[in-house]
Chain A
């Protein structure tokens, strides 16, 4: 009795709220093929007994591409990581590496110089060199070596050191 009353109330409410909709025939407009429901239980039972897996795998674009996209992303990320770790030309050079290169360069320079000059002359030249008077040629005018070897001027020595980009501090050390 209560249920019937409720349904009547709901119908009246629908009429008020949607008069056009409530006027539409509620009968099911769809049909099924002839004898469909007679045959269906047998088909279903047949499938159940042949143990058909209940989950069908559908090969949609998304199901195919999603794993591919994940793999592609992993490969790209890996490649970028390798590039930045090992190949990157913009990678900042580490301080130790600079020091080592500079050391090797300076040591080579000293060996070259020692073939031309004797060690004490080089040391003296370096020790007397200072930023304030590095361009001053006076100190070399008094140099015995230069006096004895007129082929080399002070400018030759300075230019040689400058061309070789010699770090004066390393030489003195």
Chain B
């Protein structure tokens, strides 16, 4: 029963258009309701995007909350010349990359050691249910530079199109294709050699 309700809620949320959500948010009387729907609609996508980048649940939780607080603070200035979800994704990707940078500065370590830390937290993660090959894949992904990792995750796990990723990351489609191609090659090499 509960599963059915959840599935119904999800399908209803997915069908709720961004225009409708924005109209609710722009109306002072329905602002909170509209924003709650927005969070419900995008929280999982944003959480998984961030979680793939930061690995640790607590870090991801903090970052997702920061992302939506930023969305709340800036939604009145949102110009509808880009789509709402690409705007939220852009905030999320910037926030995730910024957290990684902060971690690097916090430990005063080169980025490779931050990746090592992430790998350790992946191994110790209680919320990782993957098999051995999936663990190996995650380790291979962690070996990529942060932005390339982000592009790979968006393409491979979220199945976003190149033009969508281009809009989110502000990178040209050609550069994205090259980056993804290189990432795939590196991961394949890691998987075959380990």
Contact = CB atoms under 8 A, between A and B. Distances in A.
Nearest to B66: A54
B90 interface: no
Interface stretch (A32-40, A129-137, A145-153, A158-166): A32-40
Nearest to A52: B69
A40 B51 CA distance: 15
A44 B41 CA distance: 13
B130 A29 contact: yes
A19 B189 CA distance: 11
Contact of B102 (A28, A32, A52, A58): A58
Nearest to B103: A60
Contacts of A24: 133-134, 137, 191
B65 A43 contact: yes
Interface in A2-43: 7, 14, 17-21, 24-26, 28-33, 36-37, 40-41, 43
Contacts of B181: 17
Given A44-B68, A60-B106, A21 B44 contact: no
Contacts of B188: 17-21
Contact of B108 (A33, A56, A61): A61
B96 interface: no
B65 to A, nearest CB: 6
Interface residues of B, number: 47
B121 to A, nearest CB: 12
Chain A interface, DSSP helix/strand/loop, else mixed? helix
Given A17-B188, A21-B187, A40-B64, A30 B128 contact: yes
26 contacts: A7-B159, A20-B188, A21-B184, A21-B187, A21-B191, A24-B133, A24-B137, A29-B129, A29-B134, A31-B129, A33-B57, A33-B127, A36-B61, A37-B43, A37-B47, A40-B39, A41-B43, A44-B43, A45-B36, A45-B39, A48-B35, A48-B69, A49-B32, A54-B66, A60-B108, A61-B108
Interface of B: 32, 35-36, 39-40, 43-44, 47-48, 51-52, 57, 61, 64-66, 68-70, 72-73, 102, 105-108, 125, 127-131, 133-135, 137-138, 156-157, 159, 181, 184-185, 187-188, 191-192
Interface of A: 7, 14, 17-21, 24-26, 28-33, 36-37, 40-41, 43-45, 47-49, 52, 54, 56, 58, 60-63
